[in-house]
Structure 1
Amino acid sequence: MESIDHGFMEGMDHGSMEDVDHDSMEGMDHGSMKGMDHGSMQGMKHGAMQRGSPPSGARSPDYSDGIAYGPTHGMGMAMEGDARYGMLLVDQLEAFHNQDGNGQQWDIEGRYGNDYDKLWLRTEGERRSGRLEDASSELLWSHAVAAFWNTQLGVRTDAGEGPDRSWAAFGLQGLAPYWFELEATGYVGPAGRTAARFRAEYELLFTQRLILQPEFEANAYGRSDPARGLGSGVSDMSLGLRLRYEFHRQFAPYVGVVWSRRFGGTADLARQHGQDRFDRQWVAGVRIWF
């Protein structure tokens, strides 16, 4: 069965099939049919059935692109729920330019655990003129509650201009239909401070290597914090578009643009410091994962 050519099957004379003696078929030992080696059926080459080879730029079926998984990745691919694995993703490491000058930004996250429970570390921030303007770090325990969905519980710290702040964090993160990555997190801090953050992103593949990544983020605070330039209510929203080219699955430079808008008391405090309510940044950076 392994050597059967699909083209030969198509070329067979159907008339010859009609001439087969059906009586001889009925007399065939049914046990011999059961004894056929199903492994030979499974061993048939799909290439012959599909009549062609994948394009040279196509990703490998397991998305590895020939990457030899290390000790942690190999265990993660074992399809065992209790196997532990780790990953470090430098999602954004970029320089930006806007009307106020130049700066640098980062968004980095690391995960370690199994399919059900993971330790999740995330840090993001912005530097301008050699000075740290804003940064936040989160340490979360992520627990699977459904396919593609996880609850998160942990802590967050804010640094940069103004006093540092600490928060207890809780939220939900997962993959929505049509492959939208969603994240909603609530925060509670001392002195009755509360906050919330919502994020959504998507990957649009123009080719197997050229990918557009839209990203949306919104932040809100329960009370004003003038020392950190924050008003109560919805404080800011941003929409970013980053176009990257994956020279390798683990290395992809990108360019993009980010629009951000401040609202309410946050916008008023920004104007007092000579900043606009609306900002647009041109960005260029690299995305790396290990």
Structure 2
Amino acid sequence: MTKLEELTSIEWMLDTAANLGIRLLQIGGILLLCWFLIRASNGIAQKFFKKQTQKQRLAMSERKANTLNSITSSVTKYVIYFIGIFSILNLLGVDSKSLLVIASAGSVAIGLGAQSVVTDMMEGFFILFEDHYAVGDVVTIQNITGVVEGVTLRSTKIRDPQGRMHIIPNGSVGTVTNLCNDFINAIVTVGISYEENIDRVLAILQDEMNHTSDISSILETPSVVGVVGLDDSAVSIRIVAKCEIKTNYGVEAELRKRIKNRFDKEGIEIPFPQRTVHIVQQKEV
């Protein structure tokens, strides 16, 4: 190899390395720009929906705003990812027309081979616009009860009381039990001894429930439903209190404490499990 050929080869390698370095910088710049746009769009969407909750003319609740924010952020993220990948492929020399053909073929393949994804997205739209549930609601889906922490067009995220995160595809949500729709009932069941006078106990319980106005989360005076069970060791009485959403557990705990104190004051016995044993003696022959 002559000296001229060596110089030419070195120059070609340097040019190649420089072009590769420039492309890598450009790709890095595109990825950084995508990251920045996602962060910025999420911030703008969050501020926008938060602002709408303060405008009475739109009457948008905070839970609806959080859900719309979650879905908007998800859609925006995927759109930015798609544009970023499209730009990177174009930068690497892939023709734009070829990319459009690939995208069209890909959309057909998705429509044929990923019907469940399309179903999930359609269900996501219905969940959003029919307001089945929203971020922050306590729901039961597929026998899983927990707080909705995220809703996207693809799936719903629920965190149960043990702290476990459940990700459920929207297409398989099925029946939804929403525990945060307008109000929720606090239900307390107490047992009394069979020796107690039922009418007296019911009157005492109703009198105690009439003095619960200091519990701010209770919407109406609790109702003493009556006897709901004749168990082995106790007569079961149920009390139902209509209260604000997400406050039922606290209300139930407070009512149990007040009932126990009132029973102690009135001398009403809360029995423990008991059994009567009959000893039969055999007669001597």
Do both proteins adopt the same fold according to a TM-score greater than 0.5, normalized to the shorter chain? Answer: no
The two structures have a TM-score, normalised by structure 1, of 0.22
The two structures have a TM-score, normalised by structure 2, of 0.22
Structure having the higher helix fraction is 2
Which of the two has higher C-alpha Rg? 2
